[in-house]
Structure 1
Amino acid sequence: MGWVANQQFRRLKKKTRIWGVAFLCCMCFLLFTPRIPRSAKHHQYVDMRNLLGVPNTLNVITNFPFLVVGVLGFVFALEGGLFSTSSKAEAWAWILFYAGTAGMAFGSAYYHLKPDDNRVLWDTLPIMVAYSALLSSLLIERMGQRTGLCCMFLLLLAALLFVAYERIYNDIRFCMIFQLILPVAIPGVAFSYHSIYTHSSYWFWSTGIYLLAKFEAVADRKLYQLNNFTISGHSLEHLCLALIPVLLGVMLSCRNLKFPRLGELKDWP
């Protein structure tokens, strides 16, 4: 027993060091790099066609899947019959995630109708809320309700402050770190801590889809040319990102507890 406890302590210490180093790297980036203003090129997308009287048509309408998936996921998470969660805290984290997903549809569509610095925060904030809720649900699952809820409160507060900071000081560093570190932290936590559920591989599949979506955004012009100017990489990014809440919804509906809840232990042989 003593050897097992010692091994677990060493693993925990190693994991703490890894997260500590990651945190220090982020702080060094924020403290020792100059202010990064949002470039005017950020609002210039390769496909800015006006079809059916809608400016930037495809970049706008490809946000519709976020609304469909977000509303359905919100209803299922709120109702609680289809999605498997082990606590109210975990259920509320998923409710917030799907609410943020639905918010992405409105925020991103509003921004793409007239891309500029005044509208971009409505595109950024719902994404950060959804990321915060998603990481918090994973932390509640892997590390406990208190840790997950504390992180959710801090992450949501940070999201609001970072968006306000960017708007006031025209400095995207905090929002950039926030949006980069959470998609890295999610597979990191999923790999480092054991789950109480089955179907944990869906977390890694979701990360793979996210990376594919980011590639599509970077290759916006190239992809637009490759498909004969039919749909741009940015519009494909929207469609690809909408697959993530779908995949996670499948995970929630299919997974089961590896071990029974405390109230069910008496029924076990």
Structure 2
Amino acid sequence: MKKRTMSAWGSAILIFIILMIVTPTIPQSQAYHNFADQRSFLGWTCFYIGVAAVAFGSSYYHLHPNDATLLWDRLPMTIAFTSIMAIFVIERIDEHKGTYSIAPLLLAGLVSILYWRFFDDLRPYALVQFVPCIVIPLMAILLPPMYTHSTYWLWAAGFYLLAKVEEAADKPIYSWTHHIISGHSLKHLCAAMVPVFLTLMLAKRTVQTERISLYKTWKKGSEEERFEHSYSNVAVEETR
């Protein structure tokens, strides 16, 4: 048995050597590196860095709540906001423009934070924070997506808006719940759902074969539903 095994291995090695001699070389094609999907993932990287940093910045702020520590809470959130805007430009408008917009958007977010800190004026920061809340749902509905599962964007935006409402109603909610939970605490829970929805979207989505906006999809579905309803009514009347 051992002799047969050695013979089999010897034959296999001999065949391999002969094939290496008689067959042409197979060089690595440089086209291998020319991937079909070459989009930049820098936007998503910045977003998740911002989300991860919020945990540390927010914890630091809540240990000593004041303007100085609030800076470190808002800075990573601003990175996340501005990254999301760049991601939308990449995926809905133009890949190159969106990629080039990452640095200017991050810079705008940083400037808004520093402006608030030095001049005690929240107007630029309010724009950076609330413009995405309005623009992203509109873009998600009106612009044709590159990928499937676009409705997750709306869920994420909805939970973030709910978080802002809960933050504004911090003390009333604390009173309504008989001091069980405050609006600010609920705000953190709802805001935490934003990266959850977006992560689920990334895990599930595929490239959209036919790029149709959510608005057109809903409109088409509504028209088909009306047609089916009218057709069923006509069929019932004919049977009578």
Matched position secondary structure for 1:119: helix
Partner in structure 1 of residue 31 of structure 2: none
- Amino acid of the residue matched to residue 123 of structure 1? D
Gaps of 5+ in 2: 1-35, 211-240
Question: Which is helix-richer, 1 or 2?
Answer: 2
TM-score by length of 1: 0.62
Partner in structure 2 of residue 138 of structure 1: 88
Gaps of 5+ in 1: 1-84, 261-269
1:121 is the counterpart of 2:71 = yes
Q: Distance in 2 between matches of 1:177 and 1:193?
A: 22
> How far apart are 1:231 and its partner, in Å?
1.6
Partner in structure 2 of residue 92 of structure 1: 42
Q: Distance in 2 between matches of 1:109 and 1:86?
A: 38
- Amino acid of the residue matched to residue 110 of structure 2? L
Partner in structure 2 of residue 267 of structure 1: none
Q: Distance in 1 between matches of 2:196 and 2:70?
A: 25
Task: Check the 8 A contact 2:82/2:128 in 1, yes or no.
Answer: no
Matched position secondary structure for 2:114: helix
Aligned length, in residue pairs? 175
Q: Structure 1 140/100 Cα, relative in aligned 2: closer, same or farther at 3 Å?
A: same
Q: Structure 1 86/202 Cα, relative in aligned 2: closer, same or farther at 3 Å?
A: farther
Partner in structure 2 of residue 105 of structure 1: 55
Q: Structure 1 127/86 Cα, relative in aligned 2: closer, same or farther at 3 Å?
A: farther
Q: Percent identity?
A: 41
Q: Deviations over 1:83-113 (max 9, x none)?
A: xx94441x22111111100111111111111
Partner in structure 1 of residue 195 of structure 2: 245
Partner in structure 1 of residue 172 of structure 2: 222
The within-5 A match list for 1:157-176 is: 157-176=107-126
Q: Distance in 1 between matches of 2:133 and 2:161?
A: 9
| Moved segments of 4+, more than 3 Å | 85-88
Structure label with greater radius of gyration: 2
The CA RMSD over aligned residues, in Å, is 1.7
> How far apart are 1:144 and its partner, in Å?
2.0
Q: Distance in 2 between matches of 1:86 and 1:148?
A: 16
- From 184, 188, 206, the counterpart of 2:156: 206
Structure having greater relative contact order (Cα 8 Å, sep ≥ 6): 1
Matched position secondary structure for 2:102: helix
> How far apart are 1:151 and its partner, in Å?
2.1
The within-5 A match list for 1:175-214 is: 175-214=125-164
